[in-house]
Structure 1
Amino acid sequence: MIVGDSISQGLEGDYTWRYRLSQNFNKHDVLVRFVGPWAGTSVLPASQPSDYPARTAEPVYTGRYRPGIDFRDNRHYARWGRQLHEAKDNIKDAVAAYGPDYLMVELGFNDLAWGVSCPERLVADIEVFVRRARDANPDIRLLIANVVHRTPLSADPNLADIIDSYNRMLPCRLGALSTARSRIALVDLARDYDPHSDAYDGLHPNNIGEFKIARAFADVFSSAFGRGRIDFLDPVPHMTDPLPIAAPAGITVTPRGSHIAISWPHVFGASGYWLYWRDATSGKGFRRSPLPILADSLELRVQHGHAYELMVSAARGLQESPTTEITSVVLDDHDAAVASAVP
């Protein structure tokens, strides 16, 4: 059972490293069954709650994979935004329910990046995670990955040092936890994973990163549990294989008091959207939303009687689609939004 976060669940349109690993087992004619409660990738929701970001939309586990692939053995226990601090509290029930013989664990980035845990606390959570998994299956074998880096963030300049600190602590602690009955093997993802070339957004794996993560797990599985006969067969590609992202088909505007609700048809594979808007009445130029919009809609505060011009593009990490045609909107005194395309 693969236990992980967004790196393991994947986004709509990904192959995922889980697929690459499954393909490797198939090429070795090794019968492996992936287990877990979920089977899909993550998808952006239609909307976020009114108190977002304090509360986010319910996670989605039904997203599709890259068109054209056959990934039937796709069960997993990975979720976008997941933390080890949370996973340690439900791993016992999951192991009991789905009966895995092995756990492949890729967790910890969100704990460190979001300030949920310091390195010492995260290592302590690993101990609890292992103990509770063994409560359900004393013979469980585990492959536990360290934490990959992401490209630098100006808002969190110390993150790389924090990750390095945790990764230095992990091998010794896993060695102490490993037993003859329930062995633990370290998967050194951080050694080979380069967020500059292996990720489509500075963190989440592109096709190169998927191969590298799958290879790391496969080779450790082979050496620790497979008697050296299940090494990763496929060469890691040198070229990226980005999913083409289309522009949203159009914009719909609905008045909501002093706000307008702006929505657009979902774009397959989008990791977010950029809104470009300007107050045409005041003569100001277009502004772009400070961050990608993580839903197929948003609300924008406007002034009555002012004309606004809006356009939206879809994003997938650093990739951005063309924008929609410009739509002009005026909120009249009766709270009716009059929208029209700008020629």
Structure 2
Amino acid sequence: MARNILCLLGLLLIMAGCSSPSSSQTTAETPADSTDTKGETDSIPAPKIACDPIPEPTTIGSAIPIHCQVSDDNTPSENIALSWHIKNSPLPKNTEPGDLSETTATITFTPKAAGYYALELTADNGTAKNAIEVDFSVQESLQIDCQSPAEPVEVGQTIPLHCEIHTSNGTPELHWTLLEGPEGLEAVNLPQKASVDFTPTKNPASKGDRYQFQLSGTLGEVSASDTLAFTVVNTNQPPQIHCDSTGYSALVNQTVKITCEVDDDGKPLLPGDVTLQWDIRLSPDRNLSITAPKTAAPQITPQVPGRYTLELTADDGEARSNILIDIQVESPTAKKILPLGDSITHGVGGLKSFRYDLWKKLIDANYSFDFIGNKNTNDPVNPVFPDYQGKTFDPDHQGQSGIRADTVAANLPGWLTGYTPDIVLLHLGTNDMLQDKSVNSTIEALRQIITSLREDNASVSILLASPIGYSDHNYAVGPGDIDRLETLQARIHTLATEMDTFNSPVVWVNQASGFDPDRDTADGIHPNAAGEEKMAQKWFDAIMTL
């Protein structure tokens, strides 16, 4: 019995010596140089490696940042050995080291040739290794830097057109293109090299003609270009044109007589000294003709209301000059003006809005007009609008407090069933930015509004405003609202240019310029009396250009 007990105790001692601590990780073989006598140890997994993709294409000589992240839950980062190796390179063997000296997970690599590269990062925690390849393609590099010649350049003066070419290897194919030049200039053929001579021979107007050239180059699959520009002038004194006026106003079917005089170098003209020519530059009347177009005293009789522009050109054979004459033709009936916008148009908190000051300015100018819209009150009630020059204020408008451009776009077709404007004062976008609408969606809403107005009246004139700024002193103005409004103001300028047409002009009105939200508003958003006066003046100036 005692012998059996001794055997059992011995067996228990043996089992206790052979057991190992419990672990949730898988085990691995003990390294060959290990002297652990307690039994098997837990295996340590290989480090994890992840690398960011490299934007392509890259070019020769450019420093390429390679960002990798190495993680190991069991081994401190300082105990992980990192090494880089070039697995593939377009360079011949032995011309580029196979192993790189960098021992960090983030390195900068500068390729020396075009082609395919593969770099390998190895991470070793002393027990296990892991590796990852980072591959990318490298193209030839090409850069073109052009320098514009000194200005001004005179007619007949030979000037160098010079560009610097920077390449990694090889000679690029080059091509010169004339991007901008005086009207009627035939195509310019220049030698296809980086430095050429050019002699402008066209006889420009006294204001000068602008030339712009572009040098383009291709090297393999890589292309680059740059431009240079200069103004060409004629030092010969052009003919002098003197007209009684450069701006006329008339009614439909009324004959407009224009009177001008022309002299050359201060001397009276003899027959044949100067050639005169009148041309129509802007006319809503497609059937308009000029009586006596080759004299200094032409006449026109417009049949359609709108803005007309005539140009007189005087050419003495060596130099020429010109002058523009604007003619505003009105219909016998009053222009219907639609103020379309948000609370800034509506008028809030006892403020009159810009509409009252604009109304007075139009009366002073003897302008025949009628404000229209389905609203005739301010928010919440009308302030006192004093009579002016014996007339009572016309309160009609289409402004609504808090409204956004997309809401106006959705409702405008229905509103237009009740009226048809000749001129629209469009001031929207403030609430869109304050209510976190995107600039792009607001621009598209404004585009839809302009389209709806033209569907109602194909010849409507739209005065499109970049809205006044607001101040962050107002609680409603949040972080980023001012920056987004400034972006919208610039985009509206572009939209006005894009949508401007001959029959339906879109005139950009920069209400934001010169407007100080801290001084010109009552609450950081809505204009005070000074701000309303500024807005009214800009609307008035724009209306007078139509």
TM range (shorter): 0.5 to 0.7
Determine which of 486, 489, 492 is the counterpart of 1:167: 489
- TM value normalised by structure 1: 0.57
1:57-136 correspondence runs (5 A): 63-66=381-384, 68=386, 71-115=392-436, 117-136=437-456
Cα distance in 1 for residues equivalent to 2:526 and 2:493: 24
Q: Aligned-pair distance for 1:221?
A: 1.5
Q: Aligned-pair distance for 1:12?
A: 4.8
Cα distance in 1 for residues equivalent to 2:522 and 2:373: 26
Cα distance in 1 for residues equivalent to 2:514 and 2:450: 25
The total of aligned residue pairs comes to 204
Q: Aligned-pair distance for 1:213?
A: 0.6
Q: Aligned-pair distance for 1:139?
A: 1.4
- 2:536 alignment counterpart: 214
Cα distance in 2 for residues equivalent to 1:182 and 1:95: 17
Cα distance in 2 for residues equivalent to 1:133 and 1:77: 13
- 2:361 alignment counterpart: 24
CA distances 1:108-139 after superposition (whole Å, capped 9, x unpaired): 10011111x21111111111111111111111
The residue type paired with residue 343 of structure 2 is: S
Q: Aligned-pair distance for 1:104?
A: 0.5
- 1:36 alignment counterpart: 373
Maintained 8 Å contact 1:93/1:136: no
- The Cα RMSD (Å) is 1.6
The alignment partner of 2:410 has SS state of coil
Q: Aligned-pair distance for 1:67?
A: 6.1
The residue type paired with residue 132 of structure 1 is: S
Percent identity for Structure 1 against Structure 2: 22
Unaligned 5+ segments in structure 1 are 44-62, 226-343
CA distances 1:268-317 after superposition (whole Å, capped 9, x unpaired): xxxxxxxxxxxxxxxxxxxxxxxxxxxxxxxxxxxxxxxxxxxxxxxxxx
Q: Aligned-pair distance for 1:69?
A: 5.0
Cα distance in 1 for residues equivalent to 2:531 and 2:438: 26
Unaligned 5+ segments in structure 2 are 1-337
Determine which of 346, 352, 356 is the counterpart of 1:9: 346
- 1:251 alignment counterpart: none
The structure in which a higher percent of residues are strand is 2
The structure in which a higher percent of residues are helix is 1
CA distances 1:249-269 after superposition (whole Å, capped 9, x unpaired): xxxxxxxxxxxxxxxxxxxxx
- 1:139 alignment counterpart: 459
The alignment partner of 1:26 has SS state of helix
Q: Greater relative contact order (Cα 8 A, min sep 6): structure 1 or 2?
A: 1
For residues 35 and 105 of structure 1, do their structure 2 counterparts lie closer, same or farther at Cα, with a shift above 3 Å needed? same
The alignment partner of 1:145 has SS state of strand
Cα distance in 1 for residues equivalent to 2:492 and 2:525: 21
Cα distance in 1 for residues equivalent to 2:369 and 2:385: 23
The residue type paired with residue 22 of structure 1 is: W
The residue type paired with residue 75 of structure 1 is: D
CA distances 1:174-224 after superposition (whole Å, capped 9, x unpaired): 21111111110011011121111111111111110010010111111112x
The residue type paired with residue 66 of structure 1 is: V
Maintained 8 Å contact 1:95/1:137: no
Cα distance in 2 for residues equivalent to 1:198 and 1:210: 8
Cα distance in 2 for residues equivalent to 1:11 and 1:169: 27
- 2:469 alignment counterpart: 149
CA distances 1:66-90 after superposition (whole Å, capped 9, x unpaired): 3645653110000111111100112
Cα distance in 2 for residues equivalent to 1:218 and 1:95: 24
The alignment partner of 1:2 has SS state of strand
Cα distance in 2 for residues equivalent to 1:189 and 1:87: 20
Cα distance in 2 for residues equivalent to 1:102 and 1:23: 17
The alignment partner of 2:394 has SS state of coil
Cα distance in 2 for residues equivalent to 1:148 and 1:123: 16
